[in-house]
Amino acid sequence: MTDLTNLLDLDPAQLVAYCGELGEKPFRAKQLQRWIHQFGASDFDAMSDLAKSLREKLKTRAFIASPAIISDHTSTDGTRKWLIDVGQGNAVETVFIPEENRGTLCISTQAGCAVNCRFCSTGKQGFNRNLSVAEIIGQLWMAEFALRQTKGIEPGPKGERQITNVVMMGMGEPLLNYEPTVTALKLMLDDNAYGLSRRRVTLSTSGVVPMIDKLGHDCPVALAVSLHASNDALRDGLVPLNKKYPLVELMAACKRYLEFAPRDFVTFEYCMLDGVNDTDQCARELIALVKHSAHPVNCKFNLIPFNPFPESGLTRSNNIRIKAFAQILVDAGIVTTIRKTRGDDIDAACGQLAGEVQDRTKVQERMKKMAEYQEKYGKDFGRIVEIS
């Protein structure tokens, strides 16, 4: 028996090719795509303008399904978080953030994450696997029609679109799962699917330099870079990927990307960590980095109040410090925003998307052991201390 094809896995060109294999003309692919992505249809019988013979063929060869929902929670501020099952004991999270003039969906691209940034609870669980196209675009498909259903809005292009913006800022590093991520992006942008503008789709990366260049050529969307540090020594400790692609290379890649980008700036995300990266000196180093280095980059900064979790050993900068830091950047002529924390009560805030990924790194176990040793041998056990 042939394996059934999940049609959510196919981008517009692949769907045309698939219909060709079935002996169908390219316009059938467009019709099919509209039924799937604009009407949220998963039943071939409901696709009334497709020939009955094609519907019968599809029933025996294809299906349309996003991953199963494990839980669905709505925060007091309207933020909605779905936990979705991606098999092998793993679940990832998708978060919808409603605002007055837009609705933003935060999508995951991997179960777990291999980058292991120090301030991110997702990375502390290690990496399990890449998500498929159907698992990535399926989050948008599932969320758009779930939101419409909740509000009683009809599916199809006439119904008011609930998700106007997509950010690839959920679990995982999108550029380390490149092909499925780009296929999903192409569907988001296609007029016969979601028809989102490139300006309204943002991919967030911790700085995988070669893939930033590749994305610029293949499917440029708005770019956000998880910067979080003003110099290499500090970033090496916070974002281990920096050891492979240091700041000078990252800035050069960002500058190159702007030649193709739909916006004329890159957003730098900067998680505010008390006493670590929030000093006036750090702010001045950032200004030098983006304005006066070998590769100045037109940018805006998004300062993110850290969402603490026990394993990190880090705390959030206080509001006065965050505002003072922002003011230094603003005074240097850099557009700077401070992200509002949303969905804290359902653990849907930035850096909290830990899902229920199997703990490959056994971090909980190791942290507990370390705490026991420190109690026994003193608080400096296992740390590098300077001896004068």
Q: Which two tokens stand for residue 84?
A: 């979705």
Is residue 365 annotated as part of the catalytic site, yes or no?
no
Contact of 133 with 11, CB cutoff 8 Å: yes
- Which residue among the candidates 19, 24, 93, 144 is catalytic per the annotation? 93
- C-alpha 379/C-alpha 126 separation (Å) is 26
- Yes or no: say if 360 and 128 are a contact pair by the CB < 8 Å rule: yes
Evaluated on CA atoms 213, 214, 218, 219, the torsion sign reads negative
Active site residue 269: no
How many other CB atoms are there within 10 angstroms of residue 9's CB atom? 21
Q: Is the separation of the CB atoms in 201 and 185 below 8 Å?
A: yes
Instruction: Answer whether 96's CB lies under 8 Å from 362's CB.
Output: no
Cα angle vertex 185, ends 184, 187, to 5°? 65
Phi and psi of 216, rounded to 5°? -55, -35
Which candidate in 19, 106, 299, 350 is catalytic?
350
The catalytic residues are: 93, 350
